[in-house]
Amino acid sequence: MNFYAWMIVVPLWLTFSYTISAFSIWCPDGWLAKMGIVDFAGGYVIHVSAGIAGFTAAFWVAPQSIRDREAFSPNNIMSMLTGAGLLWMGWKGFNGGAPFSASSDFVVGHPEHAYMHGRKPDHMAQS
């Protein structure tokens, strides 16, 4: 990534995305706070701001040329498995506690439970 582009994008993102969403929900006078929305762990502010940044970047970055796609194949199975494994491990650490308690049962059980039930429709459709 170009450092100069980063120097432009980050202050713009901080000013127009993160700050507005943080103020609107965490400030008692914010319009979302007045509607009664409560953000316990910062998920709204962080994820919506990151989603806006991702959408904006995808919108403004031009599609890759055919030459780039041939030179840099996007299907490296080891990179995909490494990324999925790191994501799964990080997700276990992130979901290690509920807002008011933390337990090893929660860490181990809930992500696998969600994964199993999320895969059910796919398995039923292939049967």
Question: What is the residue-averaged pLDDT of the chain?
Answer: 78
> What does the pLDDT average to over 21-46?
87
Residue 98: the pLDDT is 55
Residue 35: the pLDDT is 93
pLDDT band at 121 (very low <50, low <70, confident <90, very high): confident
* 38 vs 42: CA distance, rounded Å: 9
How do the domains of the chain map onto residue ranges?
A: 1-61, 76-127
- Calculate what percentage of the chain has a pLDDT beyond 70: 69
Residue 39: the pLDDT is 84
CA-atom Rg of the chain in angstroms: 20
Give how far Cα 95 sits from Cα of 27, 42, 46, 50, 51, Å: 26, 14, 16, 19, 20
Residue 11: the pLDDT is 92
pLDDT band at 49 (very low <50, low <70, confident <90, very high): confident
